[in-house]
Amino acid sequence: MADRITVLRHGKVVGEADPSAEEAELASLMVGRAVTLAVDKQPPNVGDVVLDVDGLTVVDDRDYVVVDDVSFDVRAGEVLAIAGVQGNGQTEVTEAILGLLPKATGSVKLDGKELLGRSVRQVLRAGVGFVPEDRKVDGLVGDFSVADNLVLDLHDQPPFAAGPLFKPSAVQANAAERIAEFDIRTGSAATLAKTLSGGNQQKVVIARELSRPLRLLIAAQPTRGLDVGSIEFVHKRIIAERDKGTAVLIVSTELDEVSALADRVLVMYRGKVVGIVPGDTDRDVLGLMMAGVPPQEADKQAEEHPTLIEHADELLTKQDEDEK
């Protein structure tokens, strides 16, 4: 869209680029070094089934079925990404697992134990880490300090609490540790979380969720609105968590992110599972599946038409008409 591109970093002009420049070139100008948009990761070392979702159905406040009989599992040490166009039920799947949607039916088992019907607190205690889609609304208390936000879901656990007593000193010590570990750029641990940049806010959320032993990590749109450097950092941490043997469930509308992280991809369309395909599936195929085309057919069509984004739109409108 731009006629000329000027790149600013730390308040200084660091370079200019032509609009035709490759995105990798722009990215490296912005972060000051070459950036790998793809994540460097080993093949997964897959273990037992950790999360077993069976027939999950969610009805929203307007009695509209937003998640329709969804079944899948996530194994230890693998990343399952839920892809799909925003608003096709992915968010609700994660919220139902966490226990935020009391109207969810079906079965969600973590290590064989039923999670549905338990409180959010109990689900978190069972070893689920949750990075919400909207960090400002659901992830952080903006008017709390960074230190307090880092213990938001751990504040009543030792060492941060002894019975009803809250221990600010332990919270401070924890904050210093996490800020260093996750390279959170903040004035101090007492800085209000709302004053941090989006990338650093997200690091606070991720640092908090990864600071306790997890069986399952759920991350919804983990890099939305972040700069390139932060995206890379977040991706690395997610893969590192996977390699520790944690089951990881990612929700992303970004095909790049899905391709970079996923060992398997589950595509959702209108609350239903279109299909579960390997992580290295061609993007054209994923794009078609996101428009509701079943995997085999998507495979075939993608072969016939190498770039199919426009075609997918056509298919989508046609399908809408068919349903009418």
**Residue list 16-45, contact with other proteins (CB under 8 A):** 23, 26-27, 30-32, 37
Residue of the chain from 121, 300, 305, 318 that contacts other proteins (CB under 8 A): 121
**Residue 312 Cβ vs other proteins, minimum distance, rounded to whole Å:** 6
**Which of 53/147 has CB closer to other proteins?**
147
Q: Which stretch binds other proteins (CB under 8 A): 53-61, 221-229, 238-246, 271-279?
A: 221-229
Residue of the chain from 75, 287, 299, 302 that contacts other proteins (CB under 8 A): 287
142 belongs to the binding site for other proteins (CB under 8 A): yes
207 belongs to the binding site for other proteins (CB under 8 A): no
Strand 49-59's sheet: what is its strand order?
65-75, 49-59, 105-110, 113-114
Residue of the chain from 249, 290, 293, 302 that contacts other proteins (CB under 8 A): 290
- Assign residue 55 a region: left if phi > 0, alpha if psi is -120 to 50, beta otherwise? left
- Residues 291 and 319: their CA atoms lie apart, in Å, by 9
200 belongs to the binding site for other proteins (CB under 8 A): yes
Question: Tokens 């944690």, residue?
Answer: 246
**Token pair belonging to 210:** 């990864």
Q: Which of 284, 281, 244, 245 is nearest to 262 (CA)?
A: 281
123 belongs to the binding site for other proteins (CB under 8 A): yes
89 belongs to the binding site for other proteins (CB under 8 A): no
305 belongs to the binding site for other proteins (CB under 8 A): no
Site residues for other proteins, 45-74, by CB under 8 A, read none
**Which of 77/287 has CB closer to other proteins?**
287
Q: Which stretch binds other proteins (CB under 8 A): 52-60, 108-116, 153-161, 240-248?
A: 153-161
Count of residues near other proteins by CB under 8 A: 77
- Residues 17 and 242: their CA atoms lie apart, in Å, by 37
Residue of the chain from 46, 59, 85, 170 that contacts other proteins (CB under 8 A): 85
44 cis-preceded (ω within 30 degrees of 0): no
**Which of 249/290 has CB closer to other proteins?**
290
Other beta carbons within 10 angstroms of residue 183's beta carbon come to 13
Give the CA-trace dihedral at 232, 208, 79, 91, to 10 degrees.
-100
State the Cα angle at 229 between 224 and 234, rounded to 5°: 55
Residue pair 50/241 in contact by the 8 Å Cβ criterion: no
Residue of the chain from 43, 102, 112, 164 that contacts other proteins (CB under 8 A): 164
**Which of 44/84 has CB closer to other proteins?**
84
Residue pair 221/133 in contact by the 8 Å Cβ criterion: yes
Q: Which stretch binds other proteins (CB under 8 A): 74-82, 108-116, 230-238, 296-304?
A: 230-238
- Residues 169 and 255: their CA atoms lie apart, in Å, by 43
